Structure 1
Amino acid sequence: MFEDKKQAEEHDKYLELAANITSLIEREIPGISDQHSEAIGLLLAQRREQLAKACKGKPEELLEPFEADTQPKGMINAGLKSAGATGNKETDNVTPLAANQ
């Protein structure tokens, strides 16, 4: 799946971030579906660099088109198809993750 250990570690960090975001969303937004909270968690983890720039005073960053090369290299994209596909071939093959593993 990955070319080297560094890529695998980057992917693990991505998955951990997505799972923690998912847990936060589920805890703070009563009634949200698991499917939607996982999709949001994955989206925010994938776009973490754009989100960080937005939080540092450049909110327009969130409106910029998403480029796949901002994700950890070698990562197999987990698509958001089951929670509402984006139409983006890069992200429509995502596997949802369980937040409280």
Structure 2
Amino acid sequence: MAVIPMWQCDRDGSMFADKKSAEEHDKMLELAANLTSLLETQFDQIDESLAEEIGLLIARNKETLAKALKGRPELILEIGKEPEAE
């Protein structure tokens, strides 16, 4: 019987076959949590679940958003059109 090492993300319990992927996922979730907190403190009327969804959307697409903010705004329209890469 083979032993396969796995890494589990503390934040959501996701399992990964390599440490790098697990750490990247954990960092993405940390960014999403911080964005959620920011949204909740800045907008009194925002629902907690909506703030969380927005935080995850931004965190999952941070590279595309960074490029859009650096002068390629059309890239924002591509978010959601292709499968998410995690």
Could you say whether these structures have the same fold, taking a TM-score greater than 0.5 normalized by the shorter chain as the test? yes
Q: Distance in 1 between matches of 2:83 and 2:40?
A: 27
Q: Distance in 2 between matches of 1:53 and 1:67?
A: 18
**Which of 39, 44, 47 is the aligned partner of 1:30?**
44
Give the number of aligned pairs: 70
Bigger strand fraction: 2
Q: Distance in 2 between matches of 1:36 and 1:52?
A: 22
RMSD: 1.1
Task: Tell me whether 1:68 sits opposite 2:78 in the alignment.
Answer: no
Q: Which amino acid aligns with 2:42?
A: E
Q: Distance in 2 between matches of 1:4 and 1:49?
A: 22
Secondary structure of the residue aligned to 2:16 is coil
TM-score between both structures, scaled by the size of structure 2: 0.76
Instruction: Check whether the contact 1:18–1:41 (CA below 8 A) recurs between aligned residues.
Output: yes
Identity value in percent: 56
Q: Distance in 1 between matches of 2:83 and 2:73?
A: 17
TM-score between both structures, scaled by the size of structure 1: 0.65
Instruction: Check whether the contact 1:18–1:38 (CA below 8 A) recurs between aligned residues.
Output: yes
Question: Per-residue deviation at 1:17?
Answer: 0.4
Q: Distance in 2 between matches of 1:7 and 1:66?
A: 20
Q: Deviations over 1:33-55 (max 9, x none)?
A: 10110010011111111111111
Question: Per-residue deviation at 1:68?
Answer: 2.3
Task: Tell me whether 1:46 sits opposite 2:81 in the alignment.
Answer: no
Q: Which has the larger radius of gyration?
A: 2
Unaligned runs of 5+ in 1: 72-101
Higher relative contact order (CA 8 A, sep 6+): 1
Q: Tell me which stretches of 4 or more aligned residues in structure 1 moved more than 4 Å.
A: none
Unaligned runs of 5+ in 2: 1-14
